[in-house]
């Protein structure tokens, strides 16, 4: 009798080898480096926060589009990236009875994203976001309101008569 117990049956060995090879192949290219052109920009993937400036995310998944969002200065820009069928996807599919061809599509190894443009800041803006008081519009001066029952002030005696409608005040009438 053999002293060494049999851990796996003869039929289970090829299946276990296939799973180990598929796991190694998926682990080879399972992350994507994501960078922006601004180090202070927030990076999100499908609404999930990844990091600021640069981040790492998993690249394996179903075929389709992944939307990376970059937020900076209160503005946001969406950058869609599509997963690709690669050589690793092909080999994983061979060892996983073709199921890897469905779930092992890969993002590129490195994704460079554009951040939103910085808003134009006026030279008159202060650091706190307040507008310079010297650039504000001047308010109309407050006037005292006369009571409605008061009569209008009398016209001075030396005042000229009002011009006739349709005539210009600088021409003399013939």
pLDDT of residue 117: 82
With 0.75 as the threshold, say if the pTM is over it.
Answer: no
- The rounded distance, in Å, linking the Cα atoms of 37 and 66 is 19
Going by DSSP bridges, is the β-strand pair 42-45/65-72 parallel, antiparallel, or unpaired?
antiparallel
Give how far the C-alpha of residue 84 lies from the chain's centroid of Cα atoms, to the nearest Å.
Answer: 24
- The rounded distance, in Å, linking the Cα atoms of 40 and 25 is 35
pLDDT of residue 164: 65
CATH value of 15-113 in 3.40.50, 4.10.860, 1.20.120, 2.60.40: 2.60.40
- The rounded distance, in Å, linking the Cα atoms of 109 and 77 is 21
Dig out the tokens for 77 from the structure: 């820009």
Going by DSSP bridges, is the β-strand pair 110-113/31-36 parallel, antiparallel, or unpaired?
parallel
Burial class (CB in 10 A: 0-12, 13-18, 19+), 71: middle
Give the residue among 84, 81, 89 at the shortest CA–CA distance from 34.
81
Give the model's confidence band at 101: pLDDT under 50 very low, under 70 low, under 90 confident, else very high. Answer: confident
Per residue in 29-88, pLDDT (tens digit) is 578 899 998 889 999 999 899 999 999 998 888 999 999 999 988 889 999 999 989 888
- The rounded distance, in Å, linking the Cα atoms of 114 and 59 is 19
Hey, where are the domains in the chain? 15-113
């Amino acid at each position: 009798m053999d002293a060494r117990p049999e851990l796996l049956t003869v039929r289970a060995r090829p299946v276990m080898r296939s799973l180990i090879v598929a796991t190694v192949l998926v682990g080879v290219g399972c992350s994507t480096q994501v960078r922006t052109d601004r180090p202070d920009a927030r990076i999100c993937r499908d609404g999930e926060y990844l990091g600021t400036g640069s981040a790492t995310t998993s690249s394996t998944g179903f075929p389709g589009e992944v939307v990376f969002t970059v937020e900076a200065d209160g503005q946001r820009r969406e950058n869609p990236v599509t997963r690709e069928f690669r050589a690793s996807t092909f080999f994983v599919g061979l060892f996983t009875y073709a199921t890897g061809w469905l779930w092992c599509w890969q993002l590129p190894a490195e994704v460079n994203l554009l951040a939103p443009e910085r808003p134009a800041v006026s030279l008159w803006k202060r650091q706190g976001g307040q507008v310079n008081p010297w650039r504000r519009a001047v308010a109309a001066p407050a006037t005292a309101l006369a009571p409605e029952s008061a009569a209008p002030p009398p016209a001075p005696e030396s005042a000229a008569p009002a011009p006739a409608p349709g005539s210009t005040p600088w021409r003399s009438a013939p």
